[in-house]
Structure 1
């Protein structure tokens, strides 16, 4: 199976200007690789750290920034040392010449965008405050799920094996926004499911968002941007609009809704927030909400559909990502992602007249095994711990017990590093985009040593793997 190029984003910041304007330009960053449309280059001479070189700036128009009045400045790089990989320039600010194409690597090799050899990534560094996760009120045990399956599917051809399969997920309890009997027996229309999903997810998301602002010591007026992720429910206006109004955020707050990323939504939101902090000095509220229980379909009797009934749960989580934080914090250093070609049919969802359905293939585990060596190589290349050293703590999306096994084996990591992820899976199930925040909340309650190097990792539809490299700081 072949791979498509990976993408690495170095989180290099813009400082505030002397006048205190947000987003003041700090020379020395490469164009961000996500969500940017390049405007015609405007070359302005800047001194390069190498005396024989000149720098050139280029204006890059952000998709979201276009609504706010035009292009934002981003450094185009050294006009002499135009290779992003910086082999030709010792400067950490070396980048390619505006208007030139990046070299295309040979087949099978990943194209790395904005990768720098240096590890001093600027000021302010994006830091994550303690997340807040909110669970709904109805706890459902695995035994209750199995009793319901035995009652409603007495003639299922694999009934004798379903109990073993569902128990093998290791999930013991999960939480639903409504009672099990109500969710299980609802065969309403897709419109009705969507309406109830939006109502319940908004309630959870608002509680989590208010809790995270309180945890960070901030008010609604302090938020510059909000990133809202949900793997379930598709309406316009979306959860981001309703949440902004409920929280009383400023009308000028930048909204970034995140959909169609499934379980990767939480990590993608953190990565996007970190880029906003690094580029603009913003204070970003990240909110994830997934209410899977509204999409339990009695007619989904395939093996993946039955296991889905036993593994999912509902939850919402939120955190603040900003240039500073009080108390313990996770400093985000660099983000990475890899989309594995030929695996779009492995895991995902589809919609029919009944609403949202999920699908899963056994190929997911083999695909994870093929991708994890790329994560190891990225960690080796960008980490500070030296050749062959792995992370000292891991915040992982839970997925399932077998998914966690595949990630551990692929990274050749200490299984104990995934203990909190397994605790989360056992106690709340797979809560989609919220899973990373749920495990991160546990990490804040049971923190690693100060200065520990960490990995945040998730697997989602595509199949795609996303990761963040961070450093733990236990003091204020």
Structure 2
């Protein structure tokens, strides 16, 4: 079976502590939101200590049109993607010419040619490398990217696939949007990049064996999460009921996925879940009857980086590999929810 052979991450230079972000939000939203103090626990209860952003702190106090945001996105997304991909190649002991297929995942910026084309030039990938940019899957995009890599490597046993997920959520901030959804986004989201390499089973070596994947779209839920495209940029859509949906659907969805491979939730040793926020993690814990320590890994990534959309679950995987390596024997569940409303899951031998 195809194997996950490396995961690497990169974050931009601007680090903002959550207390500083809370002060910014208080100053920005106070005039339009009379009960701003009642909403400030969004920051203190977010389970986040620090986040990283591609733009300097003062950038968020200014107005920027879509053209300016897009230009900054192209520059910074390319730089961070190259950094993460280079590290993933080094970890795997591979040269750029060894990559047969590159998948680039993103939801927070637009570029044509897409960032994968720029990476082919910057990294020195082969001119005949296959490439697929994946846009719009939000927080589920990282798992979906790995899923696509798995299925390609399953069909092409000699292939090596590079997956890059880069999100610059901060560049989507709209200073005139005084909605609660924007305030929630200001408390949660951050910037980051991650890269992973999946190898077909013709290649020997260490790695986490990928056993299978699952995708699910929930009917009539288009309004739960996503973007509204405005003249000045992308306005976040973030329904309050997201934790309730996770709580109501996660158990049945994951039980059905695991049953395909003859397993139960109790068989899973590592829950490598996307930490969309503390309420999402609490909903997962309740739905799957997990002990608090079983979510220490995703909770730690949320604390140290915030929610970086599609890249976040790869940060969780990177931390798992850093702590446990490629020791085989247990089962690892990788899962995330995203726009659609949808879920993506991956089963690993950890």
TM-score range, shorter chain: over 0.9
Among residues 392, 417, 425, which one is paired with 2:302 in the alignment? Answer: 425
Q: Distance in 2 between matches of 1:376 and 1:352?
A: 36
* Corresponding position of 1:262: 138
User: How many residues get paired?
Assistant: 346
1:466 aligned counterpart, secondary structure: strand
Q: Is the 8 A contact 2:255 2:265 kept in 1?
A: no
Q: Distance in 2 between matches of 1:271 and 1:414?
A: 27
Quote the offset at 1:383 in angstroms: 3.7
* Corresponding position of 2:346: 468
Q: Distance in 2 between matches of 1:251 and 1:217?
A: 21
Q: Distance in 2 between matches of 1:290 and 1:181?
A: 20
Q: Distance in 1 between matches of 2:333 and 2:172?
A: 32
Aligned counterparts, 1:312-351, within 5 A: 312-323=189-200, 328-351=206-229
For residues 185 and 199 of structure 1, do their structure 2 counterparts lie closer, same or farther at Cα, with a shift above 3 Å needed? same
* Corresponding position of 2:170: 293
Gaps of 5+ in 1: 1-124
Q: Distance in 2 between matches of 1:436 and 1:143?
A: 24
Question: Normalising to structure 1: TM-score of the pair?
Answer: 0.70
Q: Distance in 1 between matches of 2:95 and 2:254?
A: 39
The alignment status of 1:249 with 2:125, answered yes or no, reads yes
Quote the offset at 1:235 in angstroms: 2.1
Q: Distance in 2 between matches of 1:226 and 1:191?
A: 27
Q: Is the 8 A contact 2:265 2:288 kept in 1?
A: no
- Which 4+ stretches in 1 moved above 3 angstroms? 324-328
Q: Distance in 2 between matches of 1:309 and 1:180?
A: 13
For residues 310 and 235 of structure 1, do their structure 2 counterparts lie closer, same or farther at Cα, with a shift above 3 Å needed? same
Q: Which has the higher contact order (CA 8 A, sep 6+)?
A: 2
User: Quick check: which one's helix share is greater?
Assistant: 2
Question: Normalising to structure 2: TM-score of the pair?
Answer: 0.94
Quote the offset at 1:242 in angstroms: 1.0
* Corresponding position of 1:198: 74
Q: Is the 8 A contact 2:192 2:311 kept in 1?
A: yes
Q: Distance in 1 between matches of 2:140 and 2:205?
A: 27
Q: Is the 8 A contact 1:129 1:326 kept in 2?
A: no
* Corresponding position of 1:283: 160
Question: Larger radius of gyration, structure 1 or 2?
Answer: 1
For residues 388 and 395 of structure 1, do their structure 2 counterparts lie closer, same or farther at Cα, with a shift above 3 Å needed? closer
Aligned counterparts, 1:19-418, within 5 A: 125-155=1-31, 156-182=33-59, 184-281=60-157, 282-323=159-200, 328-385=206-263, 389-418=266-295
Q: Is the 8 A contact 1:367 1:463 kept in 2?
A: no
Gaps of 5+ in 2: none
